[in-house]
Amino acid sequence: MPRGAFPGTSPISQAEASGLPASAPIDVHTHVVPPDVVNGRRRYSQADVWFGRLYRNERRVLATADDLRRSMRRAGFGASVAFGFAWRDPGLCRANNDYVLQAAAASNDPGSRVLPFCVVPPGDVDFAAAEMERCQALGAVGVGELFPQGQGWNLNDRSAVRSFMDTVRSLGLILTVHTSEPVGHTYPGKDSTTPDAIWSVIEAAEGEVPIILAHWGGGLAFYELMPEVHQQAQNVYYDSSASHLLYRPDIFRVMGQLAPGRVLFGSDYPLIRQTRALRLASEAGLPPDDLAALLGGNARRLGLNTPASRDAV
């Protein structure tokens, strides 16, 4: 069953050999940027403060869509959600979205499908609405990974947040948001989007927008032990992106208990190689059914297994 593997490798047999579920895993959190951004990182670092903070250092890896596809074949992923960087500038968002949408339309290899999300500056409500509508018409299935602090999104402006979320809801998109822990060590991407800050977004969604909180949600799941928080968070999902930089491996088991059915495997590629992220998750000691749910079962129930149905980019 060839799935575009490199010579000498077979994703299927790798997966089987490592005890992974038979169906190919899904990565809900990868970033790709156009080659011009990879080659011009200094220029783009000056254009966007948070991009500069994260990527001015040449050792921080950036990936193109071709890089992602190669990585997916090597690691045996059946699908990856791909988004650009959450630029503050609308024009850069639009250009990155076009690139992601083109990559998804070109990914007709059923063994390594790219599921496109779009990035928008969410505080720019009118632009964001128009851009999300444009991208949804071209195949985007979600919006994100949004970066509230980096993009200047005022989460305390309840009416603007509600307006943005109304658009996300009406377009039937999934929302992925970067979140951070209110305590612990600092790192370049640590921002002010802590569990209390993101709560206005969850409230505005009224349970009708699937929301994926990146990086395990900054700890919000703990508060799901409060019944009213749990009730409001029924459509909130948590992805495992960048887990290796933040938590002990126990996090996989604990999160599976706090939010059963709502944990999703995400790598944050190219921050970490997909092969390594997959290995770390599969070695975290989860029971087989829980591992299968994390690596794809939950994402499929969320609708993240369907091919890009529109390829009119």
Interface with Zn ion (CB under 5 A): 178, 214
CB of 11 vs Zn ion, minimal distance in Å? 26
Amino acid at 235: N
Of residues 145 and 290, the one with the C-beta less far from Zn ion: 145
Mapping DSSP to helix (H, G, I), strand (E, B) and coil, where does residue 27 land?
strand
Shortest Å, Cβ 51 to Zn ion = 13
Nearer to Zn ion, 214 or 302 (CB): 214
DSSP H helices, the chain, are 11-17, 35-39, 41-47, 49-55, 65-75, 90-106, 125-137, 158-171, 195-205, 220-223, 227-232, 243-246, 250-258, 274-282, 288-292, 298-301
CA distances for 244 relative to 43, 113, 128, angstroms: 30, 25, 32
Cβ at position 280, least distance to Zn ion in Å: 17
Closest CB to Zn ion: residue number? 178
Q: Which of 92/119 has CB closer to Zn ion?
A: 119
Q: How far is the CB of 173 from Zn ion (least distance, A)?
A: 18
The token duo for 159 is 């009416």
> Is omega for the bond preceding 11 within 30 degrees of 0, making it cis?
no
Please say which residue, 86 or 168, places its beta carbon nearer to Zn ion.
86
Closer by beta carbon to Zn ion, 197 or else 214: 214
Q: Give the nearer residue to Zn ion in terms of CB position, either 92 or 214.
A: 214
Q: Are 265 and 249 in contact (CB under 8 A)?
A: no
- CA dihedral defined by 225, 229, 234, 239, rounded to 10 degrees? -70
- Please state the closest distance from residue 142 (CB atom) to Zn ion, in A: 14
Residue 129 makes CB contacts below 8 A (sequence gap 6+) with 164, 167
User: What is the closest distance, in whole angstroms, from the C-beta atom of residue 197 to Zn ion in the complex?
Assistant: 14
135 vs 130: CA distance, rounded Å: 9
CB of 177 to Zn ion, least distance (A): 8
Q: Compare residues 173 and 313 and give the one whose CB is closer to Zn ion.
A: 173
Question: Which region holds residue 247: left if phi is over 0, alpha if psi is between -120 and 50, else beta?
Answer: beta
